[in-house]
């Protein structure tokens, strides 16, 4: 049987590419979105207190198959294939393809070229951004966020040692489904560390 964690199929609805492979009342072609917030929770059900399955980071692509009309969207993450519910407020239509990724544990996004300005947001390691230009020590995203250039690298840049990446998370509190230094779980730590070193990795321990 297909793993439900990685199979966008329910009795009432399934992804079009699964037609003939699973049973569902109807099959739909998904719509492409990207995560616009720093971190978006992917939950088991469309409720804020539902189990956190994993987290999607800024710039991550997701294929959405259903909207419940109450602020939640059901879909599949494009990087690791995980399926669940995301808050619609965390999603946007893709505009410019990401060019860079965050390599620091966390970096601030400033409204202008000064670290003295109140930051607008903070992006975790692995977040993806589209850089439009550089301004001194900052890289400026297409949304107008100023990020420290030293905290970024081109998407195809890989860390030399995934163990070193994992070591940076020492002291991070445990969070089931977490994928950042605000909270992380064991398989999330493995996934983030290996991806930083250029090795694709499934989300859960049994898959890994």
Instruction: Please provide the DSSP assignment of the chain as one string.
Output: ---TTS--B-SS-EEGGGBTTB--S-EE--EEEEE-SSEEEEESSSSTTSPEEEEEETT-EEEEEEE-SSSEEEEEETTT--EEEEEGGGEE---SPP-EEE-SSEEEEBSSS-TTSPPSEEEETT-EE-EEEEETTEEEETT--EEEGGGEEETT---S-HHHHHHTTTTPPB-TT-EETTEE-HHHHHHHHHHHTT----SSTTT-
Residue ranges of the chain with pLDDT lower than 50?
Answer: none
What's the pLDDT at 1?
52
What's the pLDDT at 120?
97
C-alpha span between 182 and 174 (Å, rounded): 9
Q: Say which residues have a Cβ less than 8 Å from residue 18's Cβ, sequence separation at least 6.
A: 7, 8, 9, 24, 27
Looking at the DSSP assignment, which residues form a beta bridge with residue 84? 75
What's the pLDDT at 201?
92
Residue 10: which of 91, 66, 82, 63 has the closest Cα?
66
What's the pLDDT at 2?
83
Q: Say which residues have a Cβ less than 8 Å from residue 175's Cβ, sequence separation at least 6.
A: 52, 182, 183, 184, 185
pTM above 0.85, yes or no: yes
What's the pLDDT at 15?
98
C-alpha span between 11 and 56 (Å, rounded): 25
């Amino acid at each position: 049987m297909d793993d439900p964690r990685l199979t966008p199929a329910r009795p009432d609805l399934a992804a079009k590419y699964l037609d003939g492979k699973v049973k569902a009342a109807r099959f739909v072609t998904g719509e492409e979105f990207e995560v616009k917030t720093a971190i978006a929770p992917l939950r088991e059900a469309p409720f804020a207190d539902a189990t956190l399955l994993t987290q999607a980071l800024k710039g991550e692509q997701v294929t959405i198959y259903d909207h419940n009309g109450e602020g939640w969207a059901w879909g599949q993450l494009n990087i690791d294939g995980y399926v669940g519910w995301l808050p619609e407020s965390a999603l946007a239509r893709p505009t410019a393809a990401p060019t860079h990724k965050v390599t620091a544990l966390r970096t601030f996004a400033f409204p202008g070229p000064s670290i003295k300005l109140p930051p607008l947001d903070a992006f975790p390691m692995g977040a993806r951004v589209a850089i439009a230009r550089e301004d001194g020590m900052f890289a400026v995203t297409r949304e107008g966020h100023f990020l420290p250039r030293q905290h970024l690298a081109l998407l195809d840049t890989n860390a030399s040692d995934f163990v070193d990446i994992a070591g940076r998370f020492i002291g991070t509190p445990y969070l089931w489904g977490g994928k950042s230094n605000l909270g992380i779980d064991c398989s999330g730590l493995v996934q983030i560390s290996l991806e930083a070193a250029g090795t694709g990795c499934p989300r859960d321990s049994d898959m890994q």
